[in-house]
Amino acid sequence: MRALLILIVVLAIAVVVGDRVAVVVAQDEIGRTIAKEYNLPERPKVEIGGIPFLTQAIGGNYRDIDIRVGEWSGQGITVRDLEVSLSDVSAPLSDLLNSRTENLVAGTATATAVVPYDTVRGYAPEGVESISNGPNGLRVTGTFSVEGLRVPATVVVTVAPTDDGIEVTPVSVQSASGGPTIPLALLRSSLTFTVPLQKLPLGARLTAIRPDTDGLHVTAVAHSVRFSDLP
């Protein structure tokens, strides 16, 4: 009986070790393929969730796969801290190891990233000097043309995802100390602009935007993602 228990323990350890080796190989191959497809300077970090891995690999179905890309450029815009979470992934192990994408499908792909305020300011109208997040909301500060005069002011804006990208819309104006009061209507059209970030990798389109101290934290989602259909 003792010998049988020892054998069971040894086999269990072998299975665990084999499972961990297999998941590392699969994660490395996914990262290599993504780096090649998107011309990334570094291989992204990939983590396949769920234990054991081998049972998922044999069945070709994975609960979730997390991909940490870091910096990514697309549509003329560079974002930071890009992460992509795939759920309900159908991907036979043989296809992963041979870089075949025709049978790779994800039920949902959720991407998150940070758009720095310097990037947002690059699409702002003339006169905008800084963009920052504060207690009263997202603020755009600068010197703006009002009926032919250059007037300093801070404008509180909102951001929202649209079909064209991130739309920035003024909602209130704070005049500079000692300066004239500026009606919002005079700045609404001239200070409404769009940052043309329509989607993130894997065809995920913007669904939510949250201002923070380091930039706009964006979320994008795609459903029924077929990897072979991606550009």
- In the numeric block, which tokens belong to residue 91? 């991907």
Question: pLDDT tens digits, residue range 191-226?
Answer: 899 999 988 887 889 999 999 999 999 999 999 887
Show the tokens assigned to 149: 């005069």
- Token readout for 129 is 């000097």
Enter the pTM of the model: 0.78
- Which residue in 212, 204, 170 sits closest to 187, CA to CA? 170
Instruction: Provide φ and ψ at 97, rounded to 5°.
Output: -70, -20
| 12-57 pLDDT, tens digit each | 333 444 555 666 766 777 777 777 766 777 778 887 776 666 656 6
pLDDT of residue 97: 64
Q: Which residues of 56-87 are buried (b: 16+ CB within 10 A; e: fewer)?
A: bbeebebebbbbebeebeeeebebeebbbbbe
pLDDT tens column, 56-107? 666 677 778 888 888 888 888 999 999 988 888 887 767 766 766 667 788 8
